[in-house]
Amino acid sequence: MRLRPIAAIVLRQLYLMRSSPVRVLPMIAWVAVDIVLWGFIARYLNSVTATGMNFVASLLGAVLFWDFFTRVMQGVTMAFFEDVWSRNFINVFASPMLISEYLSGLVLTGVTTSLIGLIVMLIIASAIFGLHFAALGLLLVPFLLVLFLFGIALGVLASAMVLRLGPASEWLVWPIPALLSPFVGVFYPLATLPSWMRGVGHLLPPSYVFEAMRSFVAGGGYSNRALVMGVALAALYVLLAAWLFTGVYRYAVRSGLLARYSAESVS
């Protein structure tokens, strides 16, 4: 893999962000609104319940992590959608760039744009609601790693889906995080779920993050083994998503889908 083609994909996104503040605003605005909204809900719950549970840490922390994961996924897909929207596939894929370089560029773009959202969320959560993530210590590393990797995997998977099914399938991409959220126990322990949903939850890496975070905030222990399992599952999904994207790309080249994609996106 060479660095310059990867840099091209990232640079293109930076050019677009620089020329249009409208692209930057959603990265900041939605996460800010989410943190403010859930921050006040958590404060209110703290004031009306006598359980001694710190909702700011558990609820707001969960929202922050979930928003971060969503932003990583959307960062990857948005970079891919730029080529869909500008009907640029022939120009890009007729270049000597490797598919691995293209995917690396999408991932790096997703990571860069999601970090902007993460920083905004951390500032608001700590400045307004006194949520200090430093208290999580080294746990932050596996937490962020799992969410990064799974966000990347879903972003690449969603891109493969749009490449295979056509531009109209873009609308199937946006609800994916919402569809997953009941299974990963963002706001409640997996034990709350019926057994079949719990089974699905155990296959989804973010479940391990939210379980460990709740346990840590409640002052209990957490399982290192479960976190390792979360990281391993997320890494496996990244490899599977990259394999799937490559397979879909090869199908698109073989069937003529890639060559016709520009024309079809007009209709």
Partner 1 sequence: MPTLALKASRLCKRYGNLAAVDDLSFQVMHGEIVGLLGPNGAGKTTTINMVLGVLQPSSGTVEIEDIDIARHRSQALAHTNFAAVYATLPGNLTVYQNLRFFGLLYNVAQLNARIEALLAEFDLERLRDTRSGVLSSGEQTRLALAKALLNAPRLLLLDEPTASLDPSAADLIRGRIRAMASHGQCGILWTSHNMYEVEETCHRVLFVSHGKILLEGDPKALPQEHGAASLEELFIRLAREPLANHRNAA
Chain centroid, CA 98 distance in Å: 24
217-238: buried (b, 16+ CB within 10 Å) or exposed (e) per residue?
A: beeeebeeebbebbbebbbebb
Specify the residue for token string 């993460």. Answer: 118
Minimum Å distance from CB 6 to partner 1? 9
Closest to partner 1 by CB, 90 vs 197, is 90
Minimum Å distance from CB 248 to partner 1? 14
- DSSP code, position 139: G
Minimum Å distance from CB 122 to partner 1? 31
- The 3-state DSSP class for residue 45 equals helix
Closest to partner 1 by CB, 204 vs 252, is 252
Query: How many of the other CB atoms lie within 10 Å of CB of 112?
Result: 15
108, 10 Cβ separation under 8 angstroms:
yes
Residues that bind partner 1 (CB under 8 A): 2, 4-5, 7-8, 11-12, 15-16, 19-20, 82, 86-98, 250, 253-254, 256, 258-259, 262-263
Minimum Å distance from CB 232 to partner 1? 31
116: exposed, middle or buried (Cβ count in 10 Å: 0-12, 13-18, 19+): middle
Minimum Å distance from CB 20 to partner 1? 8
Minimum Å distance from CB 226 to partner 1? 41
Closest to partner 1 by CB, 225 vs 254, is 254
Gap between the Cα atoms of 241 and 123, Å rounded: 32
Closest to partner 1 by CB, 12 vs 202, is 12
Gap between the Cα atoms of 122 and 83, Å rounded: 31
Phi-psi region of 223 (alpha: psi -120 to 50; beta: other; left: phi over 0): beta
Q: Which long-range contacts (CB under 8 A, 24 or more apart) does 159-162 make?
A: 159/76, 159/77, 159/80, 159/106, 159/245, 160/241, 160/244, 160/245, 160/247, 160/248, 160/249, 162/77, 162/80, 162/81, 162/84
Minimum Å distance from CB 156 to partner 1? 19
